[in-house]
Structure formats: C-alpha cells, structure tokens
A and B are shown apart, each in its own frame.
Chain A
Amino acid sequence: MRVAHSTVLKQCSGQWIRPNFIDRGEVIPAQVLGAILCTLKNPAQDSQRHKYEEERQIMKFTIERNSLLKTLNHVQSVVERRNTIPILSNVMLEASDDMVAFTATDLDIAVIENTPANVAVKGSITVPAHTLHDIVRKLPDGAEVELSLAEGERLTVKAGRSRFQLACLPKEDFPVMSAGDLPHRFKLMSEELKRLIDKARFAISTEETRYYLNGIYLHVAEGDSGSNLRAVATDGHRLAQVEQEMPDGAMGMPGVILPRKTVGEVRKLVDEFEGGVDISLSDTKVRFTFDSTTVISKLIDGTFPDYTRVIPIGNDKMLEMDCKVFAEAVDRVSTISSDKTRSVKLSMDSDVLTLSVTSPDSGTATEEVVAGYQADALEIGFNSRYLLDILQQIEGDSVQVQLADPQSPTILQDQLDEAALYVLMPMRV
C-alpha cells in the first residue's frame, strides 16, 4: 500500500505526526499504518494516560491575552487569507526561556515577534494564524491564555472556561526566510522612517511589467551638501524623492528596491513603536528591527532606472501659493472632470492662478486662487488625482511649483521640507 505523507496527515485530521515517523514513499504495510492511526485517534481510556501526557508535553506556556493579541496583530497581517498550501496559513510558535517567538510569512516577507511568556515546556509548533488570532480576539480582556501541546495531540488553547484544540503542523514544514549576511546596518528614528515612506510610497507603480518600479528605491545619493540617504518612487507619471541625513553605517550600502508590500507592513509597524529602527541590508535582503519585532523581506531583483534624468533643472517660472487653498480648489473643480482623465487646467497670469475643468459630458468649472507668479502667462494641465496626492504630502503652508512649459515635467516642493521633491508630468488639455 502506497500512502502519501499528506494523505496520512489528512487522515489524522491534522494531528501532528513527526515527519520522520513515516518514511515517505516507502511501502508501509496496511496493518502498521492502521496501528499508527489507531494510536493517534485512540481516546483517553486509561488513567495512566494523563500522567503520560504530562511527560509527553512538547510545548507549554501561558501568556496574557492582550500581549498575545498585540503580537498576533503584528504578525498575522502578512499571512494571506487564501492559501493553497496549508502551512503558509500558519504562524510558528517557538517557546524558549521566558520568551515566545511568533513567526508569520507569505514567502516574501517574514515578521517575527518575541513576547515574554511564562514558559513551562520549551518547544515549537505551527498553527493557523487567522484562527488563533480570531480566538484570542474574542477572549475576555486580561485573561490568561494557556497554550499546550502534547505529543500526537492538537494544540490546546485554554483561557478561563474556554478550551480550543487546533490542528497543527510541524515546525520543520515551515518556510525559512534566511536573512543571510547583512553587512550594512544603520539606525533611523521611527519618525524619520515614517517620513521617508509616507512621502514616497504614493508614487509607487502598480504596473507589473515594470516590476522594478513596484517599490521604493532606497540608496545613497551624493548631493551638494554631501551624501544623503534617499528614497525614490515613481510610476512614470510622477516621482517622489525624499532625502534624509546620512545615518551612521549607511555609507556604502547598495541601492535596494523595497517591495510595495514590505513598505506597507513596515509602515504599519512604525506607528506601533517609538524610538529607533535598526535597518540591516544586503543586496538581496533587508531586515527592520523594531524593539521586539523583526521584519525580514526579499528585495526587488532589478535595476531602478536613472531617475535623475527626468528631474528638470532649468525650470525658471516660479509659482507659489497656499497649499491648503490650492488643494481644496483642485479638489472642487475636479468634481466636474470625467472619471478617466481627471485633468485640470492651470492658467497663470501675474499673481493669479485660474483652475479650470471642461468636460463635454458634465459641464465646466473654474476657480481663481491668489498666487505668487511673476513670469509670462502659461497654461498647463495636470492629473488632479496626482496633484492632490502630492499636495497631501506637503507639510508647510505654501507650495512652490517650478514650471518650464506645458510639455515639460514640473517640480513641486515643500517650503517646510526642502529635502522632499516631487516631479509631475503635465497632461495635454
């Protein structure tokens, strides 16, 4: 009789069998297999069993519900909801001295969090992440949760009078995200990292054919005032470039492209922690270490295009105005523009900016905004959505726009944050 390993696992309805328990691919006589299954399914009958179970504990720890929930919140978000491979829906629990490490991964990103716990028996196992998260979420505030696992059993979750038994899979089946050697290490304050991400991520491309644009390009750039750490994102229509004072240890690091999903996960965690974030990277991996949480991610394996060529240097027509007033005006007039193009026309004359939208279907809209503008009159069109995305990132009261002509890329800059620069391609209107 020929039995697939996974079939046996299934027949045991998810109970844990040690992988070497059954020699895969070998011929297992039906009686032997039956005996194995019987021992696994055999209900507790003799009184010895309880004692036996105590001795056979593989893992046991208790942990406070809120800290468990917080940890699971952090790690489970990377786990995909729909998975064809069961192990990928799981979170790995590794109990060691007074600490339990929770690991979740989608094969591209791994999130690991260490949480203090009262560990009775050291050990490890994997269980469905979303199920465990949902259970813990529904437990009462402040409850003590006990997780225990005996050999050949399911994982038992006990809290108060609730008791759950969860199907689990061995740790050996769990994916490994090896960081390898990460020679470049530096530290950023969480506000600094937040700024780099927020001001660049809106411009990340979603076009899969140009996969090298599907992330934030983090690299060292030589500027007028020495080297800076620079984050760049672009989708071919707009570009965001944010600079940061060079942190210690970042000098000589390779330019890396952080995938969009990684950027999102890291950004979520930044909000949860204060203080510094340790970043280590090589040309194939990156690791972010917050206090007790670590994110290890793959990078995009490609070359970021030479974006400096698209940043214009000779734009001589300066337009300056109140950022909030401008943004609101763009938002108002764009109501009229048709869904597809979303274009808005900017007409500049001395100290007056007129925004206008003409749509053959729905009508027209115009609004005048007071602006500082001294150059020759100019008309230029932009995608209102892109314009608003950029204006949202501007912290200062006023925004400075550097224009050349209706066909050339335009630069937008924040008066308060000169280290952030946005480039926007005009539209024909």
Chain B
Amino acid sequence: MDDNRPELHLHMSSKLVGQEGAERAFLDAYNDDKLQHAWLISGPKGVGKATLAYKVACFMLASSAEGTSAGASLFGDAISPDSLTVDDNNPVKQRIISGSHGDLMVINRSVNVKTGKLRNDIVVDDVRKLSKFYSQTASEGGWRVAIIDAADEMNINAANALLKNLEEPPEKALLLLVSHAPGRLLPTIRSRCRQLALKPLGDDAVVDILRSQYPALNDSDYKTLAALSGGAPGRALELAEGDGLGLYGRITSLMMTLPRLDIPALHQLADSLASIKADSDYRLFRALFQDIMQRLIRFSATGQVAPAALIAENQLFETLGPTRGVDQWLDLWEKMAEQFTSADAVNLDRKQILLTCFGKLAGRA
C-alpha cells in the first residue's frame, strides 16, 4: 500500500540543482511576510518541481516548529532565513520522510480500492481530503502545507473541488501545486496561484548529476542522456535507470528504415513494450518518441538541427522532413498525441497503438 513512499523519499533526498532563482523568489516572499497562499510550480517533467515543493514544505514546517518552541525573539525580529535547506537531522524532516507529519498533506493519484490499481487521475475524493485537512487546526501548531503532485492529473471534478480551498484558504495554510503543463489547468486555478516557473538546466549541469549517480557510463552516453532529457535531471536519471539509451537507439534505427518500415523489427519493439510489466518502458518510449517527433517538426518548420549529442537524428530529419508540409506534420503529431492519451484513458492495446503510429509515419512518408 505504501506506493508513494519511495517517490516521496526520492524527492526528500534529492538535491535540487539549478533552481536557485525559484528558491530565492519563495524566500523573498517569506521574508517579506507576503507569502501567497498558493503556488503553482511549473516546468518540464523531471526538472525538480516536486523536489522543490517538498523542500519548501520541509522548510515551512521546520521553521514553524522552531518558531513555536522558541517563541518570539527577545530582541526584535528574528534573523530572516537565507536558505530553504533544512538540516538532515531535523526531526521535522525525519517525520516528513516517514510520512507521519500531521501538517503535511500530499495529494497524488490514489489506489482504487475496488480494483487495487493506481488510478489514472486524481479524483474528487482525493481533493476533498484537503478540505478536511484545512478544516482542522494544525497538529504541530504551525503551518499546514499541502502538495498536489501533479495538478495536471486532477480530473475536472477534482479541479472544481479544489477551487473552494483556493478561494478561501484558512490562515497559515500553504498549497503547492506541481504542474507539468499549467496551460491545461483551469484558468480559475491558475489565476489564484502565484506562478513559479522552473527553467530547464544546461546540459553540463545534467551531466554532472548523471555522473554522480551513475559513475559507470561513458562521456558520449552522458551527453546523449542530457540532450534527451531536455534539461530535466529527473528525466535524465529516469532514462539512465530504465535503459533509455537502448530504447532510443531502437526507435531511431527503426525510424531510419522509413519509408520502407522494417515490419519485423517494429513488431518486436511493440511486443516488448506492450506487456503489463513493461509499463515504465512504454512510458519512456512514449516520451522519447514524442520528443523525436517534436524535433522533427521543429526541423521542418525552422530548419533547426538536432543538438550535437543527437547527431544521428539529423539524417532522419533530412529524409523524413521534406516528405510533408509543416501543417501535415503538426496534424499527425496531434493525432498521435490524441491516440496515446485515449489509449491510457480506456486501456487500449498498446501494441496496436505503436503499430498505428508507425503505420501513419510510413503511410505518408
């Protein structure tokens, strides 16, 4: 049942890299006593949004715990903190990691009790827990912090249920929304939050992180992973862990065979991704494939070539790019995205989806 705990731990233990600007913005609001009650943390997947949210939560809860025990400072204002980092030995941090801090509520996709499976979206009952959390006083006496990870996963009913809490938050309550695509959120939610956009990191920074976690890879692998991650260290680590490089190689070599598609290779790939066990591989594939398509479209629209680490893609662009106009590419891209989404929503056969996508590429290529 403790499905979100490893993830929680990951966010609590990861070092947030390259987001000093965002941290500063939050600290400034905190120190100026102008802390907004709701923050929308946006940015590409894996850039560190949830890590920042947990860091902020830990900071708020740890500093309010200090505040209540020490009381007001005898000599005027206490010193304003200049970092969000909380010492690892802080008991508050310990309790957050074990999931037992009464003043932190994390809302993410819950397990459907009837089927025993993780739901595809955050449902209204999950969000209603927040109302109950906000309706009672804080258990440790300070701030109450709620994290919604990720806000994009809320279905429409859940999003509407959240509005009530966003409009009339109680005192000393902080709501952190993590969002990969803030544009897709309800405008009423967006307008009630202060936005904090996390920027993608430079390739060098991502390579450094990769090097510290996976010391055994070689330089060109680091560079490829960094380029594929689009500046999001979390994605780079995910790719490194799930053999994203191998998968990327298979996708590109398969695409190279276009327009005469290598059917046996395609079936082999689709079979290996369609099984239930290969869920994470399938997700990796989906992200990688969509990224390649994106770069392809960008190439055919602007002539922008692939980053140096992904040099192999250029050949692909040159053969495939001119075969159709930008509008046709965009149309295709949209259809594919739609297909992937509907496949998840109604549990369509994943193999079939793959075959269709490549078929479409080949059909007109």
Do they bind each other? yes
Partner of A27, one of B91, B98, B137, B212: B212
Q: Does B315 contact A (CB under 8 A)?
A: no
A83 to chain B: closest residue by CB = B1
- Most-contacted residue by chain B among A27, A105, A169, A172 (CB, 10 A): A172
| A20-34 interface bits toward B, Cβ cutoff 8 Å, 1 = contact, 0 = none | 100111010000000
Distance in angstroms from A89 CB to nearest chain B CB is 10
Q: Find out whether the CB atom of B131 lies under 8 angstroms from the CB atom of A208.
A: yes
Number of residue pairs spanning A and B whose beta carbons lie under 8 angstroms apart: 114
Q: Find out whether the CB atom of B100 lies under 8 angstroms from the CB atom of A173.
A: yes
Q: How many interface residues does chain A have, given as a range? A: 35 or more
Q: Find out whether the CB atom of B135 lies under 8 angstroms from the CB atom of A302.
A: yes
Q: Does A4 contact B (CB under 8 A)?
A: yes
Q: Does A48 contact B (CB under 8 A)?
A: no
Measured CA separation A211–B135 after assembly (Å): 7
CB-CB under 8 A for A107 and B170, given A24-B13, A173-B94, A298-B138? no
Q: Does B83 contact A (CB under 8 A)?
A: no
Measured CA separation A299–B136 after assembly (Å): 6
- Most-contacted residue by chain A among B2, B14, B100, B131 (CB, 10 A): B100
Partner of A298, one of B95, B128, B137: B137
Residues of B within 8 A of A177 (CB): 102, 139-140
| A75-90 interface bits toward B, Cβ cutoff 8 Å, 1 = contact, 0 = none | 0000000011111100
Q: Find out whether the CB atom of B132 lies under 8 angstroms from the CB atom of A208.
A: yes
Q: Does B88 contact A (CB under 8 A)?
A: yes
Q: Find out whether the CB atom of B213 lies under 8 angstroms from the CB atom of A24.
A: no
Residues of B within 8 A of A212 (CB): 135
B113 to chain A: closest residue by CB = A82
Q: Which of B4-12, B19-27, B35-43, B347-355 participates in binding chain A?
A: B4-12
Q: Find out whether the CB atom of B141 lies under 8 angstroms from the CB atom of A178.
A: yes
Partner of B2, one of A5, A84, A284: A84
Q: Does A108 contact B (CB under 8 A)?
A: yes
Measured CA separation A20–B14 after assembly (Å): 17
Partner of B100, one of A4, A24, A174, A259: A174
Within 8 A of B (CB), among A77-114: 83-88, 105, 107-108
Interface SS of A by simple majority: loop
Distance in angstroms from B127 CB to nearest chain A CB is 12
Residues of B within 8 A of A108 (CB): 102, 136, 139
Q: Does B101 contact A (CB under 8 A)?
A: yes
Q: Does A19 contact B (CB under 8 A)?
A: yes
Q: Find out whether the CB atom of A24 lies under 8 angstroms from the CB atom of B12.
A: yes
We find that the number of chain B residues with CB closer than 8 angstroms to chain A is 38
Q: Does B134 contact A (CB under 8 A)?
A: yes
CB-CB under 8 A for A176 and B140, given A86-B2, A87-B98? yes
Measured CA separation A176–B170 after assembly (Å): 22
CB-CB under 8 A for A211 and B132, given A5-B97, A6-B2, A87-B100? yes
Residues of B within 8 A of A84 (CB): 1-4, 99
B7 to chain A: closest residue by CB = A4
Q: Does A417 contact B (CB under 8 A)?
A: no
| B105-149 interface bits toward A, Cβ cutoff 8 Å, 1 = contact, 0 = none | 000000000000000000000001001101111111100000000
Distance in angstroms from A167 CB to nearest chain B CB is 13
Q: Find out whether the CB atom of A298 lies under 8 angstroms from the CB atom of B213.
A: no
| A188-215 interface bits toward B, Cβ cutoff 8 Å, 1 = contact, 0 = none | 0000000000000000000010011010
Q: Find out whether the CB atom of B98 lies under 8 angstroms from the CB atom of A169.
A: yes
Q: Does B275 contact A (CB under 8 A)?
A: no
Given contact pairs A24-B12, A87-B98, A177-B139, a sample of 19 additional A-B residue pairs in the complex whose CB atoms are under 8 Å apart: A4-B5, A5-B9, A5-B13, A6-B2, A6-B5, A6-B6, A7-B6, A23-B88, A27-B212, A83-B1, A84-B1, A85-B98, A86-B2, A107-B100, A108-B139, A176-B140, A177-B102, A301-B135, A302-B135
What would 28 A/B residue contacts be, using CB atoms closer than 8 Å? Answer: A4-B5, A4-B10, A23-B88, A25-B9, A25-B12, A27-B212, A84-B1, A84-B2, A84-B3, A87-B98, A88-B99, A107-B100, A108-B136, A108-B139, A169-B98, A172-B98, A173-B95, A173-B100, A174-B95, A176-B91, A176-B95, A176-B102, A177-B102, A178-B68, A208-B131, A283-B137, A285-B137, A301-B137
The 5 closest A-B pairs by CB, nearest first: A25-B13, A173-B98, A211-B135, A85-B99, A284-B137
